[in-house]
């Protein structure tokens, strides 16, 4: 009986380990420090959050693609650097002020964890911030700097949807991956028809 309880506890810890590590990484990203001290304080905060607030168990897909996880990480770092430079230029540039918009981004997947990761990713990239999430309709509402025209708003919307696709490729389930691929194929078909009608 004791062995079953220990095995169940170890299984629970193993399932929550990715979420725990994500909390530590998020803590380090929020402080902008990748030091031993930041890691240790992140561990303390993650232990506090997971033990005091008793979060519901996170249902992971059980699928991890290391290649796409690396691609996501490198593209995220590049987007943070690019976003920082763009925002800095918008602030110091003489002349017109950058436009702002609230952009509604419908997501393809119906998964709280993917939605949360997409929201955190979009918020960590300078120039955009999640204002609200509509869980029932799977919509993220973002405040975006430098998006004043319809084309710029649509570009921002597609960018966030690409982050969702990258996350699904890295850690999503097979069903989520199929849904993203089907949505992408449908969107490309619509764009092709629009081009044909306009030409």
pLDDT tens-digit map of 61-114: 556 788 888 999 899 999 999 999 988 888 787 777 777 889 999 999 888 888
pLDDT at 1: 47
pLDDT at 187: 62
CB-facing half-sphere around the CA of 182: CA atoms within 13 A? 9
Report the sign of the C-alpha dihedral through residues 14, 16, 18, 22, in that order.
Answer: negative
pLDDT of 2 > 90? The answer is no
User: Taking Cα atoms as reference points, which of 158, 150, 159 lies closest to residue 187?
Assistant: 158
Most confident of 20-29, 38-47, 71-80, 93-102: 71-80
pLDDT at 15: 63
pLDDT at 33: 78
């Amino acid at each position: 009986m004791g062995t079953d309880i220990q095995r169940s506890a170890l299984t629970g810890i193993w399932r929550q380990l990715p979420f725990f590590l994500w909390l530590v990484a998020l803590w380090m990203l929020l402080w902008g420090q990748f030091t031993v001290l930041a890691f240790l304080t992140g561990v303390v905060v993650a232990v506090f959050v997971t033990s005091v607030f008793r979060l519901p168990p996170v249902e992971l897909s059980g699928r991890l693609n290391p290649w796409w996880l690396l691609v996501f990480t490198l593209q995220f770092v590049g987007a943070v650097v690019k976003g920082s430079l763009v925002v800095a230029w918008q602030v110091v540039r003489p002349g017109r002020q950058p436009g702002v918009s609230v952009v509604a981004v419908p997501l393809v997947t119906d998964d709280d964890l993917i939605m949360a990761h997409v929201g955190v990713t979009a918020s960590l990239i300078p120039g955009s911030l999640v204002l609200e999430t509509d869980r029932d309709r799977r919509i993220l509402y973002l405040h975006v700097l430098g998006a004043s025209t319809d084309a710029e708003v649509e570009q921002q919307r597609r960018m966030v949807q690409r982050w969702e696709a990258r996350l699904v490729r890295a850690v999503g389930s097979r069903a989520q991956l199929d849904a993203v691929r089907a949505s992408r194929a449908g969107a490309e078909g619509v764009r092709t028809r629009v081009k044909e009608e306009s030409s």
